Structure 1
Amino acid sequence: MKYFILTALLFGLFFGQAQAQKGFLRGTVFDGETGEPLIGAVVFRQGTTDGTVTDFNGNYSLPLQAGTHTIVYQFVSFRTTTVENLEIVAEKVNTLDVTLQSDVEELAEVVVTAQVIKNSESALLSVQKKSANVLDGISAQTFRKIGDSNLSGAMKRVTGVSVQGGKYVYVRGLGDRYTRTTLNGMSIPGLDPERNDVQIDLFPTNVLENVMVYKTFSPELAGDFAGGTVNVETKSFPEEKTTRLAIGLGYNPKMNLINNFTSYEGSNTDFLGYDDGARKIPLDPQTEIPRPTSPEPANAGELLESYTRSFNPTMAAKNQSNFLNSSLSFNHGNQLDLPGVKFGYGVVLNYQNQYDYYGNTVVSSYFKDNNKDVNALDAQFVKNGELGRQNVLWSGLITSAVKFNKHELGLTFLKTQNGIKTATNRVSQDFEETSQTAYENILTYTQRSLTSPTIYGKHNLNKWTLQWSNSVTLARVYDPDFRQVLIAEVPQYQGGEQVGVQYFISGGQGGSAGRFWRDLNETNENFRLDATYALNEKVKLKVGGAGLYKWRTFDTFAYNFSTNQPVENDADWILRPENIWTPDSRQGIYVSGNYEAANNYEARSSVNAAYVMSDAFITPKLRAIFGVRAEQAQMYYTGQDNLGSTVYDDEQTLDQLNLLPSLNMVYSLKENVNLRGSYGRTLARPSFREKSIAQILDPVSGVTFSGNIDLEQTNIDNFDLRWENFFGREEMVSVSAFYKKFNGHIEQTRFELEPREVTWQNIGGSYVYGLELEFRKKLPVEGLMLGSNLSWAQSHVDMTQIIVSRDEINNTMTTEYESRKQQARTDETIDKDRVMAGQAPYLINAFLNYSDFNGINSLSLSYNVQGESLSVVGVGQVPDVYVKPFHSFNLNVTREIGERKNGQIRFTIDNILGDSKEQVWKNHESGDELFSRFDEGRTFTLRYQYSF
């Protein structure tokens, strides 16, 4: 084996030296009419036999001696295109994409002068122009210009797209189940047990090639989306040898290099994004923990003491010093032209460590006043304090691909690891019931990981083109040892006068102390096969199939610490050795909490699909893409309720066959002007968590999530109309209108009498409609470009269909509409409709790019804001919560340095306006009351990159 490796290395060195005497011309040849790659086009150096043929992706690679050449591009029934004065540099790759125009009557030759062409933004616009779907996207070049480090920041630049909570994508105001995210066309699981969407902040931009957002449905796409399908494409086949190393440091005056950063001692590997076992459960989750008064077993007291002492004693947040935000990345890739074979490979490694500190956070709860003449809200409690968060993310991407004859085989392996350590120290003031002051410490850690190997193949067999892929994705969300302590301050009176205070964590005094573990593991296996048959130059038939199989386990374990005796106002005091309950003293802190089956479940599902569709040019100007997709979905559930009276053992909860037709029409008004119209039937299925009988208390938020085993899927009818004009290189303008009707819309709802318990239910009729405008225009100043996209949307949910309480004795029910009417203020009118949760009425994205400005390679200003949106749906006396607009204004400046321009410095300023993120309680004609506020400050980042 060692001789084989040595031989391979020597061959690689020899071959690399031989190739170093030449340069390469690489690119793609496109069909000017359809925009698709041309397979088998001939590319050669004029006057010689030095040439090559494009592969089934339309790609070519031609080695040439250093110097100036004339290159000829030919294909049957297309005009020959000749490119003159093309300069080739030794050991460099020149990239040139060429579009051939069809002309069967006059086969005239086209002669052009060479220029640097390959531009990923232009390529992305070309894809949009020729796509069968209404789509928008963002390219790797845009990532670099704007300076976003992860996908959650970059996605905000896409038309009609917003990002909620820094990680969840909403397309056209629709998120959660209504936005589907895929990785290289393959399904990936979400990493939040209470949501259905994928957390996109796990993807750093330097591992990505582009992101496409499909806004209309066609049969080759999976049917479970309404807002859109977001396809994240990773780098795969590099066009030239690239080796880059980059390091970045970021400074926020409010968050970095401070001595009062709120944190706690975790594990030794927190800086790597995972816990080393320091937070694991110290005892078997199935352990029966005895009470202090338990007579059995004989050693119950000793066991209780031992179990209590086994927990990590750290319960309090501490002030520490912290460092700058930091990032490190490495990227290496190359494409080798071997005899009869092209081989490409790439390795991308990325590490980020970010600190967030909020010194004056506010979280509150308000109720509507009992007097309906009063519009002002009554405070239940207000919590003020500090929050510190350390967010570590690293990722690795390995890609390899080989092309030979008319085949391509490839492998992609993506691994991401994320660890978020958060510590909160705040004071809670109760205004409603006890008027007590309480002191709260919350210590949390969330560990998220995604491992996704994918193999794929592409094959051109004369008139048939086959593509297949198979991926297995392993996802885990592990929340080990969430710690929460609420120490209640209880005044002590003597003779009617206050003489002091005491502190309690239990005993009916309003305090509490607990620990919580949560572990979600999900495996997805996804495969798909797509076959395209060219009936002729104008008509293509496409058929295919896909399978998606999911397995999930979800476990939660909770423990409480109690004592009827007073404690000190110090969270760490609770588990000090001398304060632990003992059999002899019969006093002190002791642990309680046994395994609860209702907090745990297992589930699996399968979706098998097949489709057939046609892509036909009915006339030279009219293109029709139509077909149908069939999906058979099944779900199985294992779990039981709190009482143990209802038990499911791998029982089927869903068995549904769906036929999903679609029609996309594209009419070419002019060469670069399209009019699009489309209809598609899609759906949204309930998640494992929602279609269950589990009742899981989240101790951090205090909300109990109750599943609904009778939940059904949502059926959606989608209508789109779009006019687009691609009037110049990188320039375009488009106007879109859309309408979506939901039958059985799934929404999270609260219970009127128990507003801290939520469930999910189907709602009869809901709809959303809106308009989108996008433009990109070069300004008269050389290198200056202005762009913007604007979205306006309206949604309607029928509140008469939402049940918020039931009277089982009298067999009556109360709807959200009736509940709101009962709590309406004296002069308030209640409509039967409201907006969908999370749906913003408008989105504004704008950018100004200046290239090659006074020695600066790129200067970019970007702005993003979305309108006020409903965040938490109120019920009964609980009002609604809305997210206030956050004005994000950012600067990115890039400059190349060094004699060979192989160094690059990038400087960014995030949140130039210094805006804060706020949510507010709203009631009829009352002033907004703060629900939460986080002061983001301004972040200054300097990044240096060196290319070898």
Structure 2
Amino acid sequence: MKMYYKTIVTFIFLVVSQFVFAQSTGKISGKIIDKKTGEELPGVTVVLEGTTTGAATDFEGKFLIKNIKPGIYSIIISCINYNKKIIKGVEVKANEVSIIDLTIEESTKELGEAIITADLKKESANTLLIQQKNAITISDGVSIESIRKTPDRNTSDVLRRVSGATIQDNKYAIIRGLPDRYNAAFINGSPLPSSEPDRKAFAFDIFPANLLDNLVIVKTATSDLSGEFAGGLILIKTKDIPEQNFYSVSLGSSLNTLTTFKEFTRNIKGSTDFIGIDDGIRKLPVGFPDNKTLNDYQNNIQNMDDVKRLVNVAKPFHNNFQLNTIGSMRPAYSFQFSMGHIKKLKDSELGSIFSLSLQNTPTTQLVKRSDYDNNGKVYEFNDQQYTINTLNGFLWNVSYKNKNNKFSIKNLLNVNTNDQTVVRNGSDFINGFAYKSYAMWYTQNILNSHQVGGEHLLSAAKIKLNWSVGLSRLNRVVPDFRRIRYQRDLNDDQAAFQVPLTSTTQPEIAGRFFSTQNDKIYNAGIDLSRPFNISKFKNEIKIGGYAQVRSRDFNARQLGYTNAPGQTPDYKSLPLDQIFSGNRIDTNGYVLKEATTPTDAYTASSNLFATYIRIDSKVTSRLRFIWGARLESYNQKLSTYRTGINEKFELDTTVVDILPSLNLIYSINEKSNLRASYSQTLSRPEFRELASFQFFDFNDLLLVEGNSQLKRTKIFNYDLRYEFYPTPAQVISASVFYKKFDNPIEKILFSGGSPRLMSYQNVASAWSYGIEFDYKLNFGQLFNTDNLFLGGLNFIGNAAYIKSEVDVKKVIATESKVRPLQGQSPYIINGGLQYSSLKYEYGFSLMFNRIGERIANVGNSEYSSYWEKPRSVIDLQINKTLYKKLDIRFAIRDLLAQNIIFYQNGDDKTFYTAAKDKDIWNFKVGSTYSVNLSYKF
């Protein structure tokens, strides 16, 4: 907290010092695009009328005019083969950049070059919507213009505004009702590495919104895009070179109705926990024997000296099972610092962008967990889950750009850590025990990613060459996962709770778990595109290649406390902070034994090599085909042991897929398009889903195990969409789509055993089809009025109805003859009102989201599937800007705070009925109220 207060003082000092430095000139910056094609136009001249002051657009269509005295100007835009345009009413203010993005039209032979005059207020374009209208795929996005008008602080906030997208827990993307398995994220053309090892989870929080250039979700495939998605590809483009030098500082704090100022329980605290990195207090002691040596110790007990040797192994461990209670938990806090610098050289620019973000968020959840069999309830537990999440991010991009070339270096570091403590109380009705269980663990994920790339415009033929090379590393460490269980007879309230230790190693009763996982991803890509004309129409051919080499090394260590050989210690009722203290670890007390199995380690690798061709063919002035094919060769290797037997298992498979794609666009008129699309894509199993490693998920009370027999999923996608753009800032669209899945991968539950086993399986096939509506309406343009309030008010949203079904004919002991695909929601509703006043510099947004019931884990004829109950989420944000620099934002997230419920159906209906259905997990969550102050220098 001292560091937090120092940061506040520094922030205030920087704000005050800013007033000392004032500038007397301003700038005009922007982008020029072709009104018909949405293409960014290089070589366009932009000049202040009546002067020689101006600039030419670069190969990205961008321009920057500097050192302009404050005032109202007209600018002249001219380019060969295009109509000249004069834009009036461009205001330049001291120490500010006026950003205008505009369109120009090709001149015609019949009329020759024309001069078009327009007022800025009516002419300023929403470039992303124009580019979306002319895009080769079905897509939705948010432009830099829209981002500037919102209080959004990071990419996660921006994503919530994109039609058809939902973000769960700020990291899992759900698009068209499909879960994260079927979606992917790319940043600046390269895959964004997952911040978690077993799922496609992306730490969107660490990218500040003011560093974004645009964000687009592509819903249909083309051959130059990754072949591994079915819902959508999230394409994030960050700024390379800022319009002007800037510094921005943001401080925030939030209160959670279930956490803040309430009692909070946690385990030991390390000196560097605040930066999300363990200081070593949780690591295995120095000199601790490896698992082979420890196994030799415990399997060769001949005398008391051998027992003492086992005792000495356990002695160096910290006695860190104790819990610490905080009477009143502090609020969450966040800090973000961003800066950008641009250096104008003779005929080029050099720019850099830097961002540092720190977040620390305590959260309490109250969870009721139950399970059932044919005779009724198996168990019922009440959990208090206490988590402190630390999310720190570092981003540094450097770019150099001249008229025809751009080189960039992009660096990303993300530290995402959870310090979690769970206190569990409840009853096991089958075995007749009351339980008090505790678990404490620290999960540390460190992701760093580096990318070097270039974009080049070659010769007068306008050949474009793009390339990139990247390296990503993910290090995941669980340094000491501790769990312990006390129990007593369920019918004897007077009996003491005891830890039922014996001479047999049972880590789930009292044990420690350690794991390390190291992932490396190397990737490289190159593409070349060349325009050409057929008759009078522009066409383009694009060829390219992509390679990705990925490796993983995973090792886990499981240790369990047992009675010392030949002893029955009378310590079983001692409290947490005493039961494994120094004098209890002794020849007449407890020892620590090895419980690691051969399946607790595996190595894996994959090599992906792809090449593709894409042709953009304009057949007539209205009809356009984008067609091509992508060839992907994918090799996957896994080395581990089979579960239950000491037998080595090696997996080495290579699969070659040809993925065709076709997009058809028919321009009905200037304001509407009809699109049709077909593509084939894939979904491949993750390493963890293949590995036989068994892990006990303490939270969900499930034993999780991989399946080495999993196959890739082939997906056939069909889309038809009508879109209408009544004005440059509005869009209304309707889509129908159909998807067929061959060998989809699902999470499955097994009926027997305790704890219950969860694994993965392929089913033969599945399909889904649906209808989707998207809209973005501006009330000012809708009612054709200049009213300032209506002009700043937007109504946005997305609604989809989806039907899916799995082919279960060949599934043994299936639960039902018909069921939906695991993870697929039957409907999605996203909607909201957004208001932004440029004149009075305030705004608000009210957003609503609801996703229909969906299967979380697939059951069987003896044990029903787990379903996730729909819940409505309402978010509110209000923002106000003061003195053009200081932004104040107040937000309420999850205003309704409805419980998160997973259930088993008690009847033949899939929707939730409290009186009939059986709650498996019932999470009570709180609403979050936050305040954020941002100052831009």
1:842 aligns with 2:843: no
1:798 aligns with 2:807: yes
SS of the counterpart of 1:562? strand
Q: Report the AA paired with residue 364 of structure 1.
A: S
SS of the counterpart of 1:97? strand
1:403 aligns with 2:401: yes
In 2, Cα distance between equivalents of 1:887 and 1:35: 37
Question: TM-score under structure 2 normalisation?
Answer: 0.89
In 1, Cα distance between equivalents of 2:809 and 2:704: 23
After the TM superposition, which residues 240-279 of structure 1 pair with which residues of structure 2 at under 5 Å, given as runs?
240-258=244-262, 260-279=263-282
Q: Report the AA paired with residue 664 of structure 1.
A: N
Partner of 2:47: 44
Cα distance, 1:292 vs. partner?
6.5
In structure 2, the CA distance between the partners of 1:270 and 1:144, relative to structure 1 (3 Å rule), is farther
In structure 2, the CA distance between the partners of 1:488 and 1:163, relative to structure 1 (3 Å rule), is same
In structure 2, the CA distance between the partners of 1:643 and 1:778, relative to structure 1 (3 Å rule), is closer
In structure 2, the CA distance between the partners of 1:851 and 1:87, relative to structure 1 (3 Å rule), is closer
In structure 2, the CA distance between the partners of 1:765 and 1:91, relative to structure 1 (3 Å rule), is same
1:551-592 C-alpha deviation (Å, 9 max, x unpaired) = 11111111111235451262223211222232xxxx322211
1:935 aligns with 2:932: no
1:634 aligns with 2:632: no
Partner of 1:657: 656
SS of the counterpart of 1:797? strand
In 2, Cα distance between equivalents of 1:39 and 1:297: 85
> Retained in 2: the 8 A contact 1:559–1:594?
yes
Equivalent of 2:886 in 903, 915, 922: 903
Cα distance, 1:641 vs. partner?
2.3
Equivalent of 1:364 in 366, 370, 374: 370
Q: Report the AA paired with residue 801 of structure 1.
A: K
1:76 aligns with 2:59: no
Partner of 2:441: 444
After the TM superposition, which residues 177-326 of structure 1 pair with which residues of structure 2 at under 5 Å, given as runs?
177-196=181-200, 198=202, 200=204, 203=207, 205=209, 208-258=212-262, 260-282=263-285, 283-286=288-291, 287-289=293-295, 294-295=300-301, 299-320=305-326, 321-326=328-333
Partner of 2:489: 490
In 2, Cα distance between equivalents of 1:18 and 1:330: 20
Equivalent pairs counted in the alignment come to 883
Q: Report the AA paired with residue 78 of structure 2.
A: Q
1:20-46 C-alpha deviation (Å, 9 max, x unpaired) = 564322111101111010121222233
After the TM superposition, which residues 865-904 of structure 1 pair with which residues of structure 2 at under 5 Å, given as runs?
865-898=850-883, 901-904=884-887
In 2, Cα distance between equivalents of 1:779 and 1:46: 34
1:352-375 C-alpha deviation (Å, 9 max, x unpaired) = 1111123x4212212234xxxxxx
Gaps of 5+ in 2: 1-19, 781-789, 909-914
Partner of 1:812: none
> Retained in 1: the 8 A contact 2:128–2:142?
yes
> Retained in 1: the 8 A contact 2:206–2:414?
yes
After the TM superposition, which residues 374-453 of structure 1 pair with which residues of structure 2 at under 5 Å, given as runs?
378-431=376-429, 433-453=430-450
Partner of 2:771: 771
With 149-158 and 44-53 compared, the bigger mean Cα shift is at 149-158
In structure 2, the CA distance between the partners of 1:340 and 1:149, relative to structure 1 (3 Å rule), is closer
Gaps of 5+ in 1: 1-16, 370-377, 803-814, 821-829
> Retained in 1: the 8 A contact 2:177–2:828?
no
SS of the counterpart of 2:419? strand
In 2, Cα distance between equivalents of 1:425 and 1:58: 58
SS of the counterpart of 2:181? helix
> Retained in 2: the 8 A contact 1:290–1:300?
no
> Retained in 2: the 8 A contact 1:79–1:108?
yes
Cα distance, 1:872 vs. partner?
2.1
Q: Report the AA paired with residue 437 of structure 1.
A: A
SS of the counterpart of 1:538? strand
Q: Report the AA paired with residue 455 of structure 1.
A: V
1:574 aligns with 2:579: yes
Partner of 1:503: 498
Q: Report the AA paired with residue 442 of structure 1.
A: A
1:731-759 C-alpha deviation (Å, 9 max, x unpaired) = 11111111111112122323344482233
Q: Report the AA paired with residue 913 of structure 1.
A: L
Equivalent of 2:451 in 450, 454, 459: 454
Equivalent of 1:524 in 521, 524, 549: 521
Cα distance, 1:538 vs. partner?
1.1
With 620-629 and 744-753 compared, the bigger mean Cα shift is at 744-753
In 2, Cα distance between equivalents of 1:703 and 1:917: 18
Percent identical:
28
In structure 2, the CA distance between the partners of 1:142 and 1:439, relative to structure 1 (3 Å rule), is farther
SS of the counterpart of 1:177? helix
Q: Report the AA paired with residue 465 of structure 1.
A: K
Partner of 1:559: 559
> Retained in 1: the 8 A contact 2:176–2:828?
no
Cα distance, 1:468 vs. partner?
1.0
Cα distance, 1:201 vs. partner?
5.4
In 2, Cα distance between equivalents of 1:205 and 1:357: 28
In 1, Cα distance between equivalents of 2:81 and 2:544: 30
In 2, Cα distance between equivalents of 1:24 and 1:102: 27
SS of the counterpart of 1:931? strand
> Retained in 1: the 8 A contact 2:198–2:686?
no
Partner of 2:97: 93
> Retained in 2: the 8 A contact 1:157–1:864?
no
After the TM superposition, which residues 595-634 of structure 1 pair with which residues of structure 2 at under 5 Å, given as runs?
595-634=596-635
Partner of 1:13: none
In structure 2, the CA distance between the partners of 1:219 and 1:275, relative to structure 1 (3 Å rule), is same
Partner of 2:690: 691
Q: Report the AA paired with residue 713 of structure 2.
A: T
Equivalent of 1:53 in 36, 39, 56: 56
Equivalent of 1:924 in 881, 886, 907: 907
Q: Report the AA paired with residue 514 of structure 1.
A: G
SS of the counterpart of 1:334? strand
In 2, Cα distance between equivalents of 1:800 and 1:565: 55
In 2, Cα distance between equivalents of 1:117 and 1:489: 76
In structure 2, the CA distance between the partners of 1:142 and 1:304, relative to structure 1 (3 Å rule), is farther
In structure 2, the CA distance between the partners of 1:710 and 1:447, relative to structure 1 (3 Å rule), is same
> Retained in 2: the 8 A contact 1:145–1:859?
no
Cα distance, 1:395 vs. partner?
0.7
> Retained in 1: the 8 A contact 2:617–2:625?
yes
SS of the counterpart of 2:745? strand
In 2, Cα distance between equivalents of 1:426 and 1:141: 49
In structure 2, the CA distance between the partners of 1:704 and 1:193, relative to structure 1 (3 Å rule), is farther
Q: Report the AA paired with residue 63 of structure 1.
A: K
SS of the counterpart of 2:688? coil
In structure 2, the CA distance between the partners of 1:921 and 1:658, relative to structure 1 (3 Å rule), is same
Equivalent of 2:933 in 930, 937, 944: 944
In structure 2, the CA distance between the partners of 1:568 and 1:314, relative to structure 1 (3 Å rule), is same
In structure 2, the CA distance between the partners of 1:695 and 1:443, relative to structure 1 (3 Å rule), is closer
Q: Report the AA paired with residue 766 of structure 2.
A: S
> Retained in 1: the 8 A contact 2:521–2:548?
yes
Partner of 2:171: 167
> Retained in 2: the 8 A contact 1:852–1:858?
yes
1:548 aligns with 2:548: yes
